[in-house]
Structure 1
Amino acid sequence: MISAWMGSIAFFSVSILYVLLALGLPYGEFAMGGKYKRLPKQMRIATALSILIQWTAILFLLQMGNIISVDFLAPMAKGVCYFFAVYLFFNTTMNAFSRSKKEKMIMTPLSFITAICFLLTALNG
């Protein structure tokens, strides 16, 4: 399913940014309101945890899109995809109101596209 592939690639792209942020690289203007150029240590830990959540969401998206088959994910895949669709639509709104121009210009459309992909995959899966 194309929406599962697209959503996975988009969300994985975001997770790469989060890996860089967790490592302390100066890309903070692209995330979390752009308040910090380099995230403080506590925020880096939270960012590292969110990477695991993002990768787990990608697994559910790929499961729902019939790209992978993991039996224990199957019963929850549709609900998880709907959850992330709603979460990412909310995230899109928050990004759109960010003070950071970089977050607005890059993360808002990326979040919106990913939300649509999660929704379409859940609806068609």
Structure 2
Amino acid sequence: MTVAIIGSCLLGFVALLYITLALGFPLGEFAMGGADRVMPKKKRVACAISIPVQIFAALTLLQAGKVISIGLPDTVAKYICIGFGLYFALNVLMNLMSKSNKERFVMTPLAAITAFSLLFTAFHM
């Protein structure tokens, strides 16, 4: 349960970051390759689309960790967590290859902890 709460808080933090990016705040060095200080319009749309995805991942993780129920069958919540966990594991590799120090040193460990939280919770339901 604690791991699910930590992971969902990190997902919430990322959702907040993406809200600021979608609104045009100059934090682009933390995301999407870190090439743009302020996200161009196409990337802002991508940021906006990812916000509900991040929130859904956080809520699913909380259900898998038996903290709340969002009405998903446990098996479905487990596989969604595995899918998101694998996505964030891939995200770790992508962040490590970023040219942005901010993305490499901040977002890489954040993605790693999130991936661990999702996978650990899925396999310990």
State TM-score, norm by structure 1: 0.96
1:72 aligned counterpart, secondary structure: coil
Q: Show the counterpart of 1:6.
A: 6
1:96 corresponds to which residue?
Answer: 96
- 1:32-43 aligned at under 5 Å gives the runs 32-43=32-43
Aligned to 1:76: 76
Per-residue deviation, 1:73: 5.1
Query: Which runs of no fewer than 5 residues in structure 2 stay unpaired?
Result: none
Superposition misfits of 4+ residues, deviation over 3 angstroms: 72-75
What is the distance in 1 between the residues matched to 2:58 and 2:16? Answer: 13
Q: 8 Å contact 1:60–1:80 — kept in the other structure?
A: yes
1:46 is the counterpart of 2:50:
no
Q: Is the 8 A contact 1:64 1:122 kept in 2?
A: yes
Distance 2:45 2:73 in 1: 26
Structure 1 pair 72/123, CA: closer, same or farther in 2 (3 Å)?
closer
Alpha-carbon shift at residue 75 of structure 1 (Å)? 4.1
CA distance in 1, matches of 2:73, 2:44: 28
Deviation (angstroms), 1:43 = 1.1
Please state if 1:85 is matched with 2:85: yes
Task: Give the Cα separation in 2 of the matches to 1:31 and 1:95.
Answer: 8
For structure 1, list consecutive stretches of 5 or more residues without a partner in the other structure.
none
Q: In the aligned structure 2, how far is the partner of 1:46 from the partner of 1:57? A: 17
How many percent identity over aligned positions?
A: 46
Give 3-state SS (helix, strand or coil) of 1:25's partner: coil
TM-score under structure 2 length normalisation: 0.96
The residue number in structure 2 matching 1:26 is 26
* Aligned Cα root-mean-square deviation (Å): 1.0
Please give the alpha-carbon distance, in whole angstroms, between the structure 1 residues aligned to 2:57 and 2:47.
15
Asked whether the 8 Å contact 1:60–1:73 carries over to 2, the reply is no
